[in-house]
Amino acid sequence: MKIEITDINLKALFLGDKGENVDIFKELLLKMIDEHVGWRQNYQPQDTPVISPFDKSSESFNNTVDHVRSVFNELSSKLRSKSLPWHTAGRFWGHMNSETLMPAIIAYTAATLWNGNNVAYESSPGTSEMEEEVGHELATLMGYQEDKGWGHICADGSIANLEGLWYARNLKSLPLAIKEVAPEHVEGKSEWQLLNMSTKEILEIMDKIPDKLDEVKAHSARSGRHLQKLGKWIIPQTKHYSWLKAADIIGIGLDNVVSIDVDHNYRMDIDKLEAKIRELAAQEIPVLGVVGVIGTTEEGQIDRVDKIVNLRDKLAKEGIYFYIHIDAAYGGYARAIFIDENNEFIDYDKLDKVYKKYGVFQEKNEWLTEDIYNSFKAMSQVETITVDPHKMGYIPYSAGAITVKDSRMRDAISYFATYVFEKGADIPALLGAYILEGSKAGATAAAVWTAHKVLPLNVMGYGKLMGASIEGAFHFYHFLKDREFHVNGKTIKVYPLTKPDFNMIDYVFNEVGNTDLGVMNKLNHDFFGHASYAKGGLYYNEFLTSHTDFAVPDYGNSPLPFVKSLGFSEEEWAREQKVTVLRASAMSPYVNDKEVFDEYAVKIEAAIQTKLETIYNDYQQA
């Protein structure tokens, strides 16, 4: 009997802030271990065990086991004294981490006992099939056509982004290679036109010349040629350093990276994007590609992917084409909140009804705007997307992933002809020939596969978990907004940076009346010191957060409206050149429950009060 679960209880999927579900954890873990051991015992049961009872009672054996036990005492002590309490229901409001899904942890451990290497199907049939399944699920989640999209797990978002850039670079160079190898297919096209062919056009030509595939590839960017012709790689001003690394590694270089200002919502300014592309085009400088971000690392903001896509389509009519890669490492799984049981993207005006039906939000959906909805919806229109299971997939590290709109694109980066795909199964015999990495844990695929089975990638499954996280984030946002603390006769107020696009809240403390930006920055930096590992005693800390700096070299003047809204002058900004903000990725799956949140609100208010008092007392004594 298989029952369709429409009312998943998220509390059954985590170990629990106090380990409440350790009974279930042990039950399933031990079951998997026992079933594994049974499998070992029954593989050629005529073979007697190689480790005999005499071995096990020998002195050296027992000394070795005691030695191992001692090492585990040391390991346990180190882990318990130097780790972060992500698991707390309501006291950790910092880094992008939290409890992870209990089934994923168990599945990872179980699969490790078999230790498949998904680099090749031959050495890991079971987990290779799971990775292929997971890749297709993620591609479908992104709205890619089921028979065309593809995806795979990779080490992390930086690797996925690098692979996206590799796709873009090699694809963009194909027309130059075709011109050299099969010029009749691009007859009459200028270099500018060759460098502005759409991905679709390129793939259609490639389809026509299967016998020249290897030769065309040999003439592409993989040869080392053409790299400096391919144009600019455009990223948002909130640029993550992984994009600088990626441009360095891939050889197009930092000189070809262009960043576009963000608007006051910390989303890429699409007008400025268009202006920049037109400015480049006027100089016949092509655009290799544009990166949009779904869930920026520092602010959790959602770029207007729909507008980037519309711009691409508009400019295409003018003979300008750019590749789009979406870095949805953080926010990608949140697309599940828009997907119904039939993998259809739900109409905007039907969402509230669906959310009510499945209990996605406990109180209300105050989060969603049409902007955000449209951004998520348009993801299906881009070439590649990074989406990390180890972020909003609630999978333990390391599990990144990339999805590809059209699996034919693989030929731009592959190292073997397509015949190494198994017939029919569409599973590569050597996955390593189609991805950036080589050897890779089958266990990661098992963990993600299990999580996707437990929580389907739609509104009933992951959507519900996303809702819980976002609703909890909004509770925290309202808790912070305009809250005042009174310390030594002074009033310290809290100001969130923006209404969040997702589940991340950036905020600052400022003393009422303070007009010195340096003083505010110091206060927030000091607060971070008391709410992080920096001062030691992590395990006794009652409120934890993270911090970041928005400084002119990276952010330009984008923070200025926020800074001015706090009463600082433009001169202050010009002098200080940065604003230090506190940053909370609200991933706890528990504080969507308003009662739970309110219980913690009292505690974290008191903890913040104590920290501020300590800081102000230190100031007085200094």
Residues with a catalytic annotation lie at 419
Q: Is 162 in the site for its own copies (CB under 8 A)?
A: yes
Q: How far is the CB of 121 from its own copies (least distance, A)?
A: 8
In the complex with its own copies, the residue whose CB is nearer, 90 or 496, is 90
Indicate which single residue of 446, 508, 601, 608 sits in contact with its own copies (rule: CB under 8 A): 446
DSSP string, 108-120: HHHHHHHT-BTTB
Binding mask 30-69 for its own copies (x = CB under 8 A): xxxx-xxxxxxx-xx--xxxxx---xx-x-xxxxxxxxxx
In the complex with its own copies, the residue whose CB is nearer, 106 or 404, is 106
Distance CA 510, CA 493 (A): 5
State the distance between the two ends of the chain, measured CA to CA, in whole angstroms.
70
Binders in 577-616 for its own copies, by CB under 8 A: 590, 596, 600, 603
In the complex with its own copies, the residue whose CB is nearer, 140 or 450, is 450
Binders in 179-198 for its own copies, by CB under 8 A: none
In the complex with its own copies, the residue whose CB is nearer, 311 or 336, is 336
Q: State residue 356 phi and psi, 5-degree precision.
A: -65, -45
Indicate which single residue of 93, 108, 477, 485 sits in contact with its own copies (rule: CB under 8 A): 108
Q: Is 494 in the site for its own copies (CB under 8 A)?
A: no
Q: What is the 3-state secondary structure (H, E, C) of 45-77?
A: CCCCCCCCHHHHHCHHHHHHHHHHHHHHHHHHH
Q: Are 470 and 589 in contact (CB under 8 A)?
A: no
Which of the ranges 222-230, 310-318, 346-354, 559-567 carries the binding residues for its own copies, by CB under 8 A?
A: 222-230
Q: How far is the CB of 44 from its own copies (least distance, A)?
A: 6
Q: In terms of Cα–Cα distance, which of 211, 215, 166 is closest to 410?
A: 166
In the complex with its own copies, the residue whose CB is nearer, 86 or 619, is 86
Q: In terms of Cα–Cα distance, which of 445, 421, 452 is closest to 121?
A: 421
Q: In terms of Cα–Cα distance, which of 604, 581, 494, 589 is closest to 297?
A: 581
Q: Is 211 in the site for its own copies (CB under 8 A)?
A: no
Q: Is 476 in the site for its own copies (CB under 8 A)?
A: no
Binders in 377-436 for its own copies, by CB under 8 A: 388, 390, 396-398, 400, 413, 415-416, 432-433, 436
Q: Is 174 in the site for its own copies (CB under 8 A)?
A: no
Q: Are 164 and 247 in contact (CB under 8 A)?
A: no
Which of the ranges 75-83, 365-373, 570-578, 613-621 carries the binding residues for its own copies, by CB under 8 A?
A: 75-83
Q: How far is the CB of 568 from its own copies (least distance, A)?
A: 27
Distance CA 452, CA 138 (A): 10
In the complex with its own copies, the residue whose CB is nearer, 275 or 417, is 417
Q: Is 558 in the site for its own copies (CB under 8 A)?
A: no
Indicate which single residue of 138, 197, 250, 387 sits in contact with its own copies (rule: CB under 8 A): 250
Burial of 3 per CB tally in 10 Å (0-12, 13-18, 19+)? exposed
Q: In terms of Cα–Cα distance, which of 170, 183, 181, 187 is closest to 216?
A: 181
Q: How far is the CB of 325 from its own copies (least distance, A)?
A: 16
Q: In terms of Cα–Cα distance, which of 223, 243, 323, 234 is closest to 270?
A: 234
Q: Is 328 in the site for its own copies (CB under 8 A)?
A: no
Q: In terms of Cα–Cα distance, which of 334, 362, 574, 562 is closest to 457?
A: 334
Binders in 501-520 for its own copies, by CB under 8 A: none
Q: Are 336 and 141 in contact (CB under 8 A)?
A: yes
Q: Is 522 in the site for its own copies (CB under 8 A)?
A: no
Q: Is 491 in the site for its own copies (CB under 8 A)?
A: no
Q: Are strands 232-236 and 287-293 parallel, antiparallel or unpaired?
A: parallel
Q: How far is the CB of 471 from its own copies (least distance, A)?
A: 15
Token pair, residue 585, equals: 């990725």
In the complex with its own copies, the residue whose CB is nearer, 373 or 479, is 479
Q: Is 12 in the site for its own copies (CB under 8 A)?
A: yes
Number of residues that bind its own copies (CB under 8 A): 167
Q: How far is CA 29 from the centre of its chain?
A: 28
Between helices 125-141 and 442-454, what is the axis angle to 10°?
50
Q: Are 161 and 243 in contact (CB under 8 A)?
A: yes
Indicate which single residue of 145, 183, 254, 488 sits in contact with its own copies (rule: CB under 8 A): 254
Token pair, residue 537, equals: 């005693």
Q: State residue 63 phi and psi, 5-degree precision.
A: -65, -40
Q: How far is the CB of 25 from its own copies (least distance, A)?
A: 7
Indicate which single residue of 103, 389, 463, 559 sits in contact with its own copies (rule: CB under 8 A): 103
Q: How far is the CB of 48 from its own copies (least distance, A)?
A: 8
Place of tokens 């695929």: 445
In the complex with its own copies, the residue whose CB is nearer, 8 or 466, is 8
Q: Is 535 in the site for its own copies (CB under 8 A)?
A: no
Q: Is 356 in the site for its own copies (CB under 8 A)?
A: no
Binders in 116-135 for its own copies, by CB under 8 A: 116-117, 119, 122-127, 129-130
Indicate which single residue of 147, 184, 224, 419 sits in contact with its own copies (rule: CB under 8 A): 224
Burial of 161 per CB tally in 10 Å (0-12, 13-18, 19+)? buried
Indicate which single residue of 134, 194, 206, 221 sits in contact with its own copies (rule: CB under 8 A): 221
Q: How far is the CB of 285 from its own copies (least distance, A)?
A: 13
Q: How far is the CB of 292 from its own copies (least distance, A)?
A: 19
Q: State residue 260 phi and psi, 5-degree precision.
A: -110, 135
Q: Are strands 384-386 and 92-93 parallel, antiparallel or unpaired?
A: unpaired
